[in-house]
Structure 1
Amino acid sequence: MKYADIKGLSNEQVKEEILKARKEALNLRFQRASGQLEKPSRIRELRRDIARLKTAQSAAKNAK
């Protein structure tokens, strides 16, 4: 997910996206632990997406 895409989202949508990304990250951690993870790079992508979402969320808070 690109930062430009995130900027167009409302605060509630950003919260939902963070929640979805965290759930997916949890599932990927379980898959890695059980040896079923097919795409290990997805974990890194999710961590960065979550960071981008949190950055956008804090920027929106500071702008008010």
Structure 2
Amino acid sequence: MKTNALRDMTNDELLQKLAEIRQALFNLNFQHVTGQLENTAQINKNRKDIARILTILHEREQKTAA
């Protein structure tokens, strides 16, 4: 997901998206272990999306604390 699209979301929307992506990552890891996953690049994509969301949330937290 693009960073600009994530920055346009509210904190609640970001937290909801974070939960969705974490669930998807769990499912992808499960598929990978059982040998059913065809596109392993999706795991890395989800990890990076999680990192992007957490970064944006932390930036906002720092901005409000300052």
Q: Above 0.5 in TM-score?
A: yes
Q: Which residue in 2 is equivalent to 1:31?
A: 31
Q: Which residue in 2 is equivalent to 1:10?
A: 10
Q: How many residues align?
A: 64
Q: Structure 1: any 5+ residue segments left out of the alignment?
A: none
Q: Given the two structures, how large is their TM-score scaled by the length of structure 2?
A: 0.94
Residue identity over aligned pairs, in percent, reads: 30
What's the RMSD between the two structures over aligned residues? Answer: 0.5
Counterpart-to-counterpart distance in 2, 1:60 and 1:21:
20
Higher relative contact order (CA 8 A, sep 6+): 1
Cα distance per residue 1:31-52 (max 9 Å; x no partner): 0011000110000000000000
Give the 3-state SS of the residue equivalent to 1:23 in structure 2: helix
Letter in 1 for 2:21: A
Q: List, as ranges, runs of 4+ consecutive aligned residues in structure 1 with deviation greater than 6 Å.
A: none
